[in-house]
Structure 1
Amino acid sequence: MKTFFGFAVLVPAPVGALIVIILTCLAGTMAGLVLCVFSLDVTRLSGIAHTGNSADAARARRLVAILGKPHWLLIALLTWNDIALEMLPLVLNTFLPPAAAIVTSVAITLVFCEILPQAFFIQHAFELSALLSPFIRGLMWITAPVAWPMSKLLDAVVGDKEAVFFQRRELREVIRIQDEMGERRRWKRAEVGEGGGESQGNGEEDLTKEEAKLMLNVLSLSESTAKDMVQLPSEIMYKWHIDTPLSPSLIAEVFAKGYNFIPVYEDADDPTNVSQILMTKMLLLLIYRSESDGVCVRDMQLVPLQRFNGSTMATEVFVHLQRISPSIAAITSEAGDKVVGLLTLRTISEQIHETTFQAEMDPLSPSPMQVMVRSWKAFRRVGEYTISVSSRPSSLNTSFALIPTIPAIERSMRRADSAARLSIVVNTGEASPP
């Protein structure tokens, strides 16, 4: 007479089949959980717990609490998996011949307890693990008398699992792979005619091309030196000697080219050794100065340049440029005896964004400073006309040619105030002086 686990109890075939189904489900669930729970990264789960939507954040917090004791969790899952797998042939043996029970047990274990559960669970690791987290916690406490001491022993012998920490190059490759995967998804969505960004299933869109480009360039910045970031060598850089006279034609040339600053050198024998800069906007102070005053670069307010060795990491220079004004530094050779070029915060930002920013002094820029530059000619024209119609002494610059006028306008301007003069002169339609 067959017994059921040593008891002389006749188990009906339907009850035995139900027990087999329960054991199969338990073994398959444990096998799937062992695979999917330990495939989750605690670092990523912590990020979802803090930045994800409310549903995903709650799931991630439950999983982080369970994965905080990995050895206890592992022993509990393996214990229940082994219990189910060992009981399965014993139950089958109660209503099947021994040979048939072994063959049936192996087939059920292979198909329903290993292949199918693991293939299904790994596709939905996060959702299923979070859904079954209360059940997992219950299994851990049931096996605690055996599993907890063994987990402490494993903690002492094996140690805790270290969190995944990406090095800079590894992180860059992860971002690049993520960008390529997102690009493929966007192509697939375009083929089926779906618009919008591809969602990851948690309410957020995939990484865009611009985001990936910025992150890759920022990570690459730490592998570049200051010398690598210099785009314009000092040999071909537009610069002035400290004793260069500031003539109206020279100032007009600078404004026409849109320079934000002019490098200044003191040693006439070594023009590349720039030590100071002159901000172009300072030249607006010379609007009403006469050329006979003999103003030169030395008389202007010059800004000393801070120097960095060419071997300095670009990130260090980038951080320093954010703390100084103007954000310009001289980059020297590795020996420190020669200036190889200038590096600005704008230059680094352009290389990070892979674009070109419009400069403040760009002739096509709508910036307030460029509006003042365009108004410079009108100011000069008003001043010169005032000199031509007034006998009062004036210190206005007379180096530019006067604009011809008609007597009627002259008589009206003698009676008008300064505001009316400005309005009439500006609206005469004459070409502006260079």
Structure 2
Amino acid sequence: MFSSGSLPRLILLAVYLPLRSAFPLSSTPALHAAEDAEHDSSDLWLDLGAAVALVLIGGVFAGLTIALMGQDTVHLQVLATSAEGPERKHAQTVLKLVGKGKHWVLVTLLLGNVVVNESLPIVLDKALGGGWPAIVGSTVLIVIFGEVIPQSVCVRYGLPIGAYLSPVVLFLMYVFAPAAWPTAKLLDWLLGENHGVVYKKAGLKTLVTLHKSLGSKPAERLNEDEVTIISAVLDLKDKAVQSIMTPMDHVFTVSTESILDEKTIELILSAGFSRIPVHAPNDPSNFLGMLLVKTLITYDPEDAKPVAEFVLATLPETSPETSCLDILNYFQEGHSHMALVSKHPGENGGALGVVTLEDVVEELIGEEIIDESDMHDDTQRPAEQPQQSSVADFPVPLNRTLRRASTAPIAKPGYISSITPQQRQHLDNLAPSNLARKPKHTRFPFVKIKRSLQANGDNDGVKGDSAVQGSADENTPLLRS
């Protein structure tokens, strides 16, 4: 029935099959375990690599938040216009990015940072098997490598880093635009757009003062004079002319009936003023114009003419509340460098004092300007002002007495003999450019001008609400005909 080779084969099968069922071989499970271990090892390194990448990306988002949001818009504008080299280019790049919407940039960076930080625990959970190792690992990685180190670096090098990564941020802004842009517009509506820090005057003065000591190089610091002038300019708008004017008790004035003889001329010259307010007779508070001392160069004091016969310059009037900056703007028109401070500008009476361009400039530089013609210390403070000048205050030196050439007992001064006819003709035409009888128009409403008695033939003057258009002819004589 069976061949000789089939019987041993049947016996072998009958013995092997029960033994294999009772004692399974271990070679097959070991092979599968090796394959699983190799697969798990590759997944672990992949998860760890993904975790490192997420930490680095999260650090970039956190650092860019500091680098871009920490830049003040006003400061960027300053750097973009006044800085040099790479700093200027970086500021222009960042300013262009932030100009698209600072809240839009902020929401984009925060949204990207949240996505990365929320993904990190999931990746570490697979790599570390979940539980407390994943929590501790993600916390340490995020705090140290995702927040502290990147933000510390970007605080120091925020501008160049922000400029270098601006294209990446701009790309992400459009990627996250469906969620980021509406949120940014909502923030703009609720909080307002961020236009940078705008300092008040007090803050600017403090900032300027700090620059005396700030800066690593002497060239970067401000010196004392620069700080004084800048601070004075900031205060000029809020300072009234009443605080810097010379009170009328200390102003050298003359009447229209004053006779310009030798004694009066010497008094005028000794006083050292270039402009002298002229008031109506018997009314020292009603001023009609001012006498320019330069017009007396060719005048012979032996003629003994009254002031009323001279061509007077316009004396504008303003209220004591007018700011120093406003009166400086008026002086820059060139119509006058002196103004009368009055309770009732443009009306008779009420004179309080005078303010000049020199007073405003002294206020700007914080120091008194003393030229070679100053005869006394004039600090514009009432307590230190000299009283109104008189003949006794200024004794007449014999060598300065002015006489007619034909009657001089001694040799006439050299400067008289050296004047040519052409120069004398020019000196005869030194009339004021802004005549009191025909004042020029001014665009400043706080300045009032009234016509002098020369335009009306009386001693009262005429009240004017504003200046009248007009100018002096270049051939206007110094004396009225």
TM-score scaled by structure 2? 0.65
Alignment of 1:387-402 (within 5 A): 396=405, 398=407, 400-402=408-410
Note the 1:3-402 alignment, pairs <5 A: 10-11=41-42, 13-67=44-98, 68-97=100-129, 98-152=131-185, 154-155=187-188, 157-158=189-190, 160-164=192-196, 166=198, 170-180=200-210, 182-185=211-214, 196-197=218-219, 205-230=220-245, 232-268=246-282, 270-286=283-299, 289=300, 291=302, 293-333=303-343, 337-359=349-371, 361-362=373-374, 396=405, 398=407, 400-402=408-410
Question: Shift in Å at residue 178 of structure 1?
Answer: 4.0
Q: Kindly state the Cα deviation for residue 158 of structure 1 after the two structures are TM-superposed.
A: 3.2
Distance, in Å, in 1 between the alignment partners of 2:406 and 2:248 is 34
- What is the CA-CA distance between 1:261 and the residue it aligns to? 1.4
Instruction: Please give the per-residue CA displacement for 1:89-124, whole angstroms capped at 9, x wherever unaligned.
Output: 222223324211101211222222223333332233
Contact 1:311 1:334 in 2 (8 A): no
Q: Please tell me the root mean square deviation across aligned C-alpha atoms, in Å.
A: 3.2
Tell me the SS of whatever aligns to 2:305: coil
Deviations 1:31-82 (A, max 9, x none): 2222331222223322322333243332222112211222331222112111
Higher share in helix: 1
Letter in 1 for 2:162: S
**Residue 131 and residue 69 in structure 1: after superposition, are their counterparts in 2 closer, same or farther (change >3 A)?**
same
After superposition, the Cα gap between the structure-2 partners of 1:397 and 1:36, relative to the gap in structure 1 and judged at 3 Å, is: farther
> Secondary structure at the residue paired with 1:93?
helix
| Aligned-partner Cα distance in 2 for 1:165–1:323 | 35
Percentage of matched positions with identical amino acids = 23
User: For residues 204-226 of structure 1, what are the alpha-carbon distances to aligned partners after superposition, in whole Å with 9 as ceiling and x for unaligned?
Assistant: x3444433322221221111222
- TM-score, reference length from structure 1: 0.71
Q: How far apart, in 2, do the equivalents of 1:90 and 1:290 lie?
A: 105
Q: Tell me the equivalent position of 2:33.
A: none
SS at match of 1:87: helix
For each residue in 1:257-312, what CA deviation from the matched residue of structure 2 results, as whole angstroms up to 9, or x when unmatched?
321211221132x42443321111112121xx251x22222222211311111122
**CA distance, structure 2, for counterparts of residue 281 and residue 363 of structure 1:** 18
Please say which of residues 343-352 and 89-98 is displaced more in the overlay: 89-98
Q: Distance in 1 between matches of 2:67 and 2:173?
A: 17
Cα distance 1:77–1:166, how it changes in 2: closer, same or farther (>3 A)?
Answer: closer
Query: Alpha-carbon deviations, 1:345-372, whole Å to 9, x = none?
Result: 22111101112334485589xxxxxxxx
Code of the aligned partner of 2:306: C
- 8 Å CA contact 1:226, 1:310 repeated in 2: yes
Q: Aligned-pair distance for 1:146?
A: 3.9
Report the 3-state secondary structure (helix = DSSP H, G, I; strand = E; otherwise coil) of the residue aligned with 1:238.
coil
- Give the C-alpha shift of residue 334 in structure 1: 6.3
Secondary structure at the aligned position of 2:364 is classed as: helix
* Aligned AA (2:195): A
Structure of greater Rg: 2
Is the contact made by 1:277 and 1:304 (CA closer than 8 Å) also made in structure 2? yes
Unaligned residue ranges in structure 1 (runs of 5+): 1-7, 190-194, 198-204, 365-376, 385-394, 405-417, 420-434
CA deviations 1:15-45 (Å, max 9, x no partner) are 4443333222221221222233122222332
| C-alpha distance in 2 between matches for 1:379 and 1:342 | 29
Unaligned runs of 5+ in 2: 1-38, 377-397, 419-481
Structure 2 counterpart SS, 1:184 = coil
- Given that residues 35 and 122 in structure 1 are in contact (C-alpha distance below 8 angstroms), is that contact kept between their aligned partners in structure 2? yes
Aligned equivalents of 1:206 and 1:290: distance in 2?
Answer: 56
Q: Secondary structure at the match of 2:214?
A: helix
Deviates more, 1:342-351 or 1:102-111: 102-111
Aligned partners of 1:233 and 1:340 also within 8 Å: yes
Cα deviation code 1:178-232 (max 9, x no counterpart): 422x23336xx6xxxxx632xxxxxxx34444333222212211112221221x2
- CA distance in 2 between partners of 1:346 and 1:116 (Å): 58
Asked whether the equivalents of residues 315 and 339 of structure 2 are also in contact (C-alpha less than 8 Å), the reply is yes
- Provide the rounded CA distance (Å) in 2 between the counterparts of 1:208 and 1:135: 44
Residue of structure 2 equivalent to 1:5: none
Q: Quick one: which amino acid aligns to residue 80 of structure 1?
A: G
Query: Are the equivalent residues in 1 in contact too, given 2:74–2:196 (CA < 8 A)?
Result: yes
